[in-house]
Amino acid sequence: MNLLTPTHWKDYELIDCGDFEKLERFGRYILRRPEPQAIWTKRLPESEWKKMAHGVFSQKGAHSGEWMAPDMPENWIIHYNARGLKLHMKLALTGFKHVGIFPEQAANWDFIYESVKGMKVNEPRVLNLFAYTGGASLAAKAAGADVVHVDSVKQVVSWARENMELSNLNNIRWTVEDAHKFVKREVKRGKKYNGILLDPPAYGIGAKGERWKLEEALNEMMTDLAQLLDEKNRFFLLNVYSLGLSALVAENLLKVHFPNVRVIDTGELYLKSTSGMNLPLGVYGRFNSL
């Protein structure tokens, strides 16, 4: 198992973390947000956190709250430029503490970009499930893939479309639907994909009220996805952010559903703060046929 973190991203910085919070820079703005994984004591003094933060998220309920950010714009743009991959993405302060990207996923964007680039297939077909605002979709499209982007929330699909346009890309296929229902329909149609990206939430509600609980539904979905993935020219990425699951769970799922794959890369995604602390942010499992 490996530890994986983004590198060479000038527009993002984890400054410090601890006491169940994190202090991050997105472009020119510094934000202070809750972080349940950061159970240790922060390195920098409270006075520095207060001095630096342009926006502070105050938790009001289990999954919502409000921002105190009087001097920040409604939205702003950040840039990602690494290994030939150039993306531009809109950020905004949401009522769920999120801003439009999960920075640790940049390490997976590189993997997606390189996997598509390395394929001996003209315009590989890539399916991105629970696709959110589309960082992974953009990475695949920038590398030359035919991308299908699936998310059950219409607003974030619209946000992903904006990010596509900002990144000077086009022709991503947008689908607002429950991911599991979409997958089952694709299996019935006999569809095949060269790449599948799966980044499910711990809990979720679909476009028509469908309930998703990771531990109950993931194994069944993996069974269906194994039927959709091309047998030869292929790659697969599973990313899970759940406090109860380890990288061994991701490894076992991939071994069970793709028994012929020889090399599986699994581990933890993390962000390294400039104060010296490493913040774990989920587990991943992935492989490709390169």
Q: Which of 110, 284, 80 is nearest to 198 (CA)?
A: 284
110 pLDDT higher than 90: yes
- What pLDDT is attached to residue 243? 63
Q: What is the DSSP string of 165-182?
A: HHTT---PEEEES-HHHH
Whether pTM > 0.85 for this model: the answer is: yes
Instruction: Please give the share of the chain, as a percent, with pLDDT higher than 70.
Output: 95
pLDDT for position 16: 98
Q: With 90 as the cut, is the pLDDT of residue 133 above it?
A: yes
Mean pLDDT value across residues 63-78: 92
Q: How far is the C-alpha of 11 from the C-alpha of 19, rounded, in Å? A: 25
Q: Which amino acid is at 4?
A: L
What domains are there in the chain, each with its CATH number?
103-288 (3.40.50.150)
What are the residues whose beta carbons fall under 8 Å from the beta carbon of 163, sequence distance 6 or more?
A: 87, 88, 89, 90, 133, 134, 135, 138
| Contact (Cβ atoms closer than 8 angstroms) between residue 126 and residue 99 | no
Q: 140-194 pLDDT, tens per residue?
A: 999 999 999 999 999 999 999 999 999 999 999 999 999 999 999 999 999 999 9
Between CA 228 and CA 140, with CA 127 as vertex, the angle to 5 degrees is: 135
Instruction: Provide the token pair at 179.
Output: 């991911």
Strand partners, 4: 269
CA separation for the pair 278, 103 (Å, rounded) = 14
E strand spans, 55-194: 55-59, 65-68, 75-82, 85-92, 125-129, 146-151, 173-176
